[in-house]
């Protein structure tokens, strides 16, 4: 009897635990406009492609590779009509630990960040970006409202990130090996020059929604719809 109960509990635990294979795919937040792969970062020209709405996206493969894309507005309390924008892209390998946490280790030379402050300068600051991540836990489930696969990630401190929804399985990703092997020896100067040139041609993040608090994605969706409706009218000085 007790053995049967234990066995049943074990089965239940196995059924409810999220395994690596559940993670496989491309996940994105509700706006669905930010998706990993060649539509977000163009490694050949070493530049970002600006999505139409803010959001984040993660992709995972069964053999331990990940890619992530972030496009977010950063609220500016001094002048709420002047938010900054940031785009970040990284890829590398991930590992699920015994305690259910996850570590993401990027390929340091490949990551990119574009930080834009349109009210200060029409040019963004384009740099390398290398940020390891520790996620305290993760869970894949079927979203009861949308009826689609949903990924919940919890940050290093356990705080929940925006839920993401499955958009591609197998995942949509750039090649998982090093894209930009310019981090060593002599070619480094060349790489730096290239990054600098791109800084000068950086776009103004025209699609940034007006005010972001890392808040309700629904609200951002509607702000986006509104922005589309008023078409062409720009809320940003460039």
Ligand X SMILES: *[C@@H]1O[C@H](CO)[C@@H](O)[C@H](O)[C@H]1NC(C)=O
User: Contact residues for ligand X (CB under 6 A)?
Assistant: 49, 51-52, 108, 130, 132
CB 85 within 8 A of CB 73: yes
Sign of the torsion formed by the C-alpha atoms of 74, 207, 54 and 223: positive
- Cβ at position 130, least distance to ligand X in Å: 4
- Cβ at position 38, least distance to ligand X in Å: 11
Give CA separation, 94 vs 67, 68, 78, 97, 171, in Å.
9, 11, 38, 10, 15
Residue placing its CB nearer to ligand X in the complex, 27 or 129: 129
- Cβ at position 19, least distance to ligand X in Å: 27
What does the alpha-carbon distance between residue 142 and residue 128 come to, in Å, rounded to a whole number? 36
Residue placing its CB nearer to ligand X in the complex, 135 or 140: 135
Residue placing its CB nearer to ligand X in the complex, 53 or 151: 53
Residue placing its CB nearer to ligand X in the complex, 153 or 182: 182
Q: Which of 144, 143, 108 is nearest to 127 (CA)?
A: 108
What does the alpha-carbon distance between residue 235 and residue 209 come to, in Å, rounded to a whole number? 9
- Cβ at position 119, least distance to ligand X in Å: 23
Residue placing its CB nearer to ligand X in the complex, 163 or 183: 183
- Cβ at position 169, least distance to ligand X in Å: 21
Residue placing its CB nearer to ligand X in the complex, 24 or 56: 56
- Cβ at position 78, least distance to ligand X in Å: 30
């Amino acid at each position: 009897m007790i053995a049967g109960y234990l066995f049943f509990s074990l089965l239940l635990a196995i059924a409810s635990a999220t395994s690596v294979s559940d993670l496989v795919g491309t996940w994105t937040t509700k706006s669905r406009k930010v998706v990993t792969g060649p539509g977000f970062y163009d490694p050949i020209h070493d530049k970002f492609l600006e999505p139409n709405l803010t959001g984040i996206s993660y992709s995972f493969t069964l053999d331990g590779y990940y890619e992530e894309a972030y496009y977010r507005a950063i609220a500016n309390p001094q002048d709420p009509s002047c938010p900054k924008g940031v785009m970040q892209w990284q890829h590398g390998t991930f590992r699920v630990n015994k305690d259910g946490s996850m570590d993401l280790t990027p390929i340091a030379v490949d990551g990119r960040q574009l930080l834009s402050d349109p009210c200060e300068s029409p040019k963004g600051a384009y740099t390398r970006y290398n940020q390891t991540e520790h996620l305290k836990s993760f869970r894949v489930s079927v979203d009861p409202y949308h009826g689609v696969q949903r990924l919940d990630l919890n940050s290093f401190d356990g705080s929940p990130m925006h839920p993401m929804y499955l958009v591609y399985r197998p995942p949509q990703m750039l090649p998982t090996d090093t894209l930009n092997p310019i981090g060593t020896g002599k070619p480094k100067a060349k790489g730096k020059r290239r990054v600098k040139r791109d800084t000068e041609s950086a776009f103004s993040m025209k699609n940034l929604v007006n005010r972001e608090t890392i808040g309700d994605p629904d609200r951002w969706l509607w702000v986006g719809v509104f922005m589309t409706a008023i078409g062409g009218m720009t809320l940003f000085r460039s």
